[in-house]
Structure 1
């Protein structure tokens, strides 16, 4: 089910500013795809220039979407969590605590100043308060760890222990590769507070590098491809891993840095030196296959399967740097935790992730990229519990993708709905 809405011109291209020698044959990556807001199911934006300038363009174009989504985040998500935790705190308390009692802003300024400038541009373009937009950009796992520091309660572990569906932990990844080809299926699932703000952004960086990213309006990134260098990444929450919101870099900045690194190898080197604020798994895929790393605030551990396939859900499998709350809940007192000999409760708390991992791995083992077409990925990812569409009970909001890579092309199939709900639209780049 492909929706090819954007033509790629591999003949003459006539645009101002292109050198004469580039007017025939394959155009530069920047000119291979033009987004079309009228035809796409996403809000679409093309931005160019410095980080701040791109932020301004983003904020101006999407200000009518960013404002209500930011309010849902502030009042329907954060304030609701604070109330559920039994506190009298509100958004203003959270906002002050965030800047006074965590190092998230200071670390971002030090480690990713250009991306902080981009957020400033978004805020100015949308005519919104910078501090609000900065916190909104950190709407992923760091939100829970700020709430934990405020209330003394680990929200995700409390939810798991109560037997509640962990609505925010549903990101699923599968990939296969062989002979210089790879294909990835992935859903980035978050809370329905962001439903209706799904955005597709084409970034043209100062050096000409082109990124195509999906995100929620007003934020830096959710997922994407480096269209100039032919690789992609996917992130996966690992709520069980140690986190550090005092000294670590928030994940949304890591996402962008990985995508801007220029290659899978350079992105891995970047991961080796970064201290993250939250525990996640990062998968990096090019034509040669997928590399996956579970990264906590203190360790990085590579996850391998022993084959030319990868499956990832939201439970840590190899990194033993577990959070203090998990260690206490499972009565793990030794310094070295054996991930092959964990209490059964660990897997019970994360049963949804275990089921999804098993479903994906059993379906793709032994498959080739030619066999795992977008249609096949959709058929697999449309099944529950991998697929969790928004309804009265489940609040999951999806960004859903298939990426195909060979030694010349990278193709990005994306939809702002759960698998099978809204047709995939396809964007193809010749990167070699």
Structure 2
């Protein structure tokens, strides 16, 4: 379990991240380079790809305008890890690269499974398997983030990324899963910045308002939960659609197809359907729905995340070069607890990561 303490201003947090995980960041970028452009592609090829990606979108400019503190954090990661800023900036546009590359094989068709239900005795659980391209395995870290002006947060990440999924000491957690068939916006706010911007809010209600207020670059589902309930938002270029309403939903399950949003990109949907990804997502959703109870324990949630029959817990295969990168279970009650598994939850060790205060 690698836990990196990131304190202070955005630039200071980023430098702490980059310096502490310099070898991991550089190794992760090397694997990303090969996965993106193929074995043997030189530095010039990556530089050209990144230049085209960034110039063809206004994603970096949107981070700068909406959440400048996070842009400073990305700059700090580049400085601390001793890597070019544009490379680390593009690496942080993970979900956006998926739609950018979708029609240009080899492309990635990731998946994730999210669940939230009442916890036995009190409060609520929020849990997720984060499924990512297999080349990212080995870069898993937990960031313990202490901003100068926001609550402390615990975040599952890949070395070099500002974050994937996490929980706030203010008592709420946020899990995310891609909806690649929804329309994207080349000038929207990227997923990582939406997630971290929402996690920096003072409450679950404010986090939901933040997610609903920003323009979205990518199709994505955000589950925002605290001890009193959960809200699910399916976001896309058109805005957000509610998949689970905080006051009405006793439980939430979500995978990688929309339940309420109709902002569909037909070409993207056709690619995903042709590769069986929508059918697979529906199977996973049915499995989670069928096994969730109105109230569950942490161990019962872990058991669902460990399933390999559907599969919820994914191994890389030739036809699907992705795997379960890590898993989280957040216990949201009068006290907030976070458990992380870095790797597949059926075989990996779970660790509770503690708050500094």
* TM value normalised by structure 2: 0.90
Residue aligning to 1:282: 222
CA contact (8 A) 2:229 2:249 kept: no
- 2:99 alignment partner in structure 1: 145
Structure 1 gaps of 5+ residues are 1-40, 84-88, 160-166, 331-344
Unaligned ranges ≥5, structure 2: none
Report the CA distance between 1:326 and its aligned residue. 4.5
Matched with 1:78 is 36
Say which one has the larger Rg. 1
Whether the 8 Å contact between 2:128 and 2:329 is mirrored in structure 1 is yes
Check if 1:55 corresponds to 2:10.
no
Structure ranking higher in strand proportion: 2
Q: CA deviation at 1:307?
A: 4.3
2:280 pairs with 1:352: yes
Whether contact under 8 Å (1:299, 1:319) holds in the other structure is: no
* 1:31 match: none
Matching of residues 346-385 of structure 1 within 5 Å: 349-364=277-292, 366-368=293-295, 372-384=296-308, 385=311
- Which whole-Å CA distance do the structure 2 matches of 1:155 and 1:367 have between them? 42
Q: Displacement, 1:92?
A: 2.9
User: How many Å separate the matches in 2 of 1:317 and 1:155?
Assistant: 28
Question: 1:180 Cα shift?
Answer: 5.4
Quote the residue 2:174 is aligned against: 233
- Structure 1 residue 207, shift from structure 2 partner: 2.8
**In the alignment, does 2:335 pair up with 1:409?**
yes
Whole-Å separation in 1 of the counterparts to 2:28 and 2:268: 32
The 1:427–1:67 alpha-carbon spacing in structure 2 relative to 1, beyond 3 Å, is closer
When normalised by structure 1's length, the TM-score is 0.75
Secondary structure at the counterpart of residue 144 of structure 1: helix
Query: Does residue 419 in structure 1 map to residue 330 in structure 2?
Result: no
2: CA distance between counterparts of 1:395 and 1:240? 18
Are residues 1:102 and 2:57 paired?
Answer: yes
What whole-Å deviation, never above 9, does each CA across 1:202-260 have from its counterpart, x for those lacking one? 11111362111110001100111101x10000011001100012x11111100100100
CA RMSD of aligned residues (A): 2.6
Runs of 4+ in 1 over 6 A off after TM superposition: none
The reply on whether 1:299 has 2:239 as its aligned counterpart is: yes
Q: 1:162-198 deviations in whole A, cap 9, x for unaligned?
A: xxxxx64221011112785101221111011111110
- When residues 263 and 214 of structure 1 are mapped into structure 2, their CA distance, relative to the original with a 3 A threshold, is same
Q: State the match for 2:24 in structure 1.
A: 65
Residues in 2 aligned to 1:119 and 1:254: alpha-carbon distance in whole angstroms: 14
